[in-house]
Structure 1
């Protein structure tokens, strides 16, 4: 199981915060780190997990939320 998803299939609080940060605009890992108050190494690690899980998509140096993750986020709010 990925670090961004709880055993019950819901998003972890840090994953939810990250997705909320990029739901309206693409951001770099540095910008995400500042916006959500998480250390950059943690944000980069989460982004790797979330990219391999299909939650985020890379656009150059920036990341955006995937359509599937938007639906998951909407259900979890």
Structure 2
């Protein structure tokens, strides 16, 4: 499986996932809220973690300030 460069992470899937992570959320809850399959959520969150846009809090994930900034930049474009 090819990893996307960080600039490509925030396609529609990445944006949907990040928007659900404004509060600490489990991967299962992200999948339920976005309608995405759990495997897709896991892969997306892994790439978002690697890019520094999310962080893990126990079994939950939450957006970071860098993730918020990236979303704001994307909205401007």
Q: TM-score, normalised by structure 2?
A: 0.84
Counterpart CA distance in 2 for 1:40 and 1:75 is 27
Counterpart CA distance in 2 for 1:36 and 1:51 is 18
In the alignment, what sits opposite 1:20?
Answer: 19
Deviation at 1:2, TM superposition (A): 2.1
Match of 1:61 among 59, 62, 68: 59
CA RMSD across the alignment: 1.7
Q: TM-score, normalised by structure 1?
A: 0.84
Matches within 5 A, 1:1-77: 2=4, 5-6=7-8, 11-23=10-22, 25-77=23-75
Structure 2 residues not aligned, in runs of 5+: none
Larger helix proportion of the pair: 2
| Range 10-19 or range 40-49, more displaced | 10-19
Structure 1 residues not aligned, in runs of 5+: none
Shift >4 Å, 4+ stretches: none
Count of aligned positions: 73
